[in-house]
Amino acid sequence: MTFKDTFFSKKTSLNCRGKLLDLSAPRVMGILNVTPDSFYDGGRYVTDDLIKERIDMLVSDGADIIDIGACSTRPGASEVSSDEEMRRLEPAMTYTRRQYPDAIISVDTFRAEVAVKAITICEADMVNDISAGRADPLMLDTIAGLAVPYVMMHMQGTPATMQVNPVYDDVVKEIISFFAERLQKTSSLGIKDIIIDPGFGFGKTIEHNFQLLKGLKAFSVFELPVMAGLSRKSMIYKSLGISSDEALNGTTVLNTLALLNGVNLLRVHDVKEAKEVLKLFMAYKAGGEGGSNW
């Protein structure tokens, strides 16, 4: 019996509180950070009008999921209380649900208390947790009780320490081992709708990130959807000697490579451009299946 036979059958859809998200073709998660200090867009969406404009744009550009976060996890970011995190989240989530009742809303949080309020009060549909349940010992039990899809991400260390000399013998093998252990726990709790995120930039050097990008196909062992968050990250702008504001073209390149390596979900700041990547990628796949025109 193989590892994947022991744990899972192939997952191609997620039940988002009654809304079915089909992942048989890749999808796009659009980012909204209602924070003053996120690495790329911190401070851009801090008034109600700017938040509403951003949500309207994400929907108009075709985001399949809107991921709303209110607690920056960049190195050196200020700690935010759960009450403050929820205070920031609530207006954005309430507007999204009221204005776009069919939208799939994800709450980006590592706190179980915030996850509960976002799902039960603000009617979010899923939870995106950078800590894979390690930052809050109540998170996995909470997800099991809420019965919502759960994104679990790998991070070496904490946001405060993750970029202080991260070390791996084999970054791909070690992250696969990490998910095997985490998925044992989620399986024992009956959590079914899971997306795994290898955590580009979270406790990895630039070299680690590119090794991880090249090795993404290895994560198919779990037969679960895989998400890649490459958008405007330092592996792009530091490699090119540019700023994050100039990193859209590089993001497009790495998103394409991620798709070629089996990723199901792209988490991005620039939804319109990512949707264009998906359209061309699907045309490429269809062309390859059709054989040569010569």
Task: Name the band, by pLDDT with cuts 50, 70 and 90, for residue 220.
Answer: very high
Bridge pairing between strands 13-16 and 19-22: antiparallel
**Average pLDDT, stretch 276-283?**
97
Q: Round to whole Å and give the CA distance between 2 and 4.
A: 6
pLDDT per residue over 222-250, tens digit each?
999 999 999 999 999 999 999 999 999 99
Domain of residue 96: give its range.
Answer: 3-12+26-280
Do 265 and 23 form a contact (C-beta atoms < 8 A)? yes
Quote the tokens at residue 204.
């990895």
Confirm whether 173 is domain-assigned. yes
pLDDT of residue 35: 81
pLDDT greater than 90 at residue 289 = no
pLDDT of residue 280: 97
Tell me the percentage of the chain whose pLDDT exceeds 70.
Answer: 86
Confirm whether 285 is domain-assigned. no
pLDDT of residue 5: 39
Confirm whether 17 is domain-assigned. no
pLDDT greater than 80 at residue 124 = yes
DSSP state of 226: B
**Average pLDDT, stretch 102-109?**
97
Q: Round to whole Å and give the CA distance between 34 and 47.
A: 9
Catalytic residues, which ones?
233, 267
Selected residue with higher pLDDT from 211 and 73 = 211
Task: Name the band, by pLDDT with cuts 50, 70 and 90, for residue 101.
Answer: very high
Do 135 and 112 form a contact (C-beta atoms < 8 A)? no
- The chain-wide mean pLDDT, for the chain, equals 90
CATH of the domain at 127: 3.20.20.20
pLDDT of residue 74: 65
pLDDT greater than 50 at residue 251 = yes
Burial class of residue 183 in the structure, from the number of CB atoms within 10 Å of its CB (0-12 exposed, 13-18 middle, 19+ buried): buried
**Average pLDDT, stretch 103-109?**
97
Confirm whether 292 is domain-assigned. no
Confirm whether 290 is domain-assigned. no
User: What's the number of domains the chain is made of?
Assistant: 1
Confirm whether 293 is domain-assigned. no
| Whether the predicted model's global pTM rises above the 0.85 cut | yes
Selected residue with higher pLDDT from 157 and 276 = 276
pLDDT of residue 8: 42
pLDDT of residue 10: 65
Confirm whether 248 is domain-assigned. yes
pLDDT per residue over 145-192, tens digit each?
999 999 999 998 666 555 667 789 999 999 999 999 999 999 999 999
Confirm whether 166 is domain-assigned. yes
Task: Name the band, by pLDDT with cuts 50, 70 and 90, for residue 6.
Answer: very low
pLDDT per residue over 38-95, tens digit each?
544 545 667 889 999 999 999 999 999 999 999 877 665 567 899 999 999 999 999 9
Q: Round to whole Å and give the CA distance between 162 and 89.
A: 25
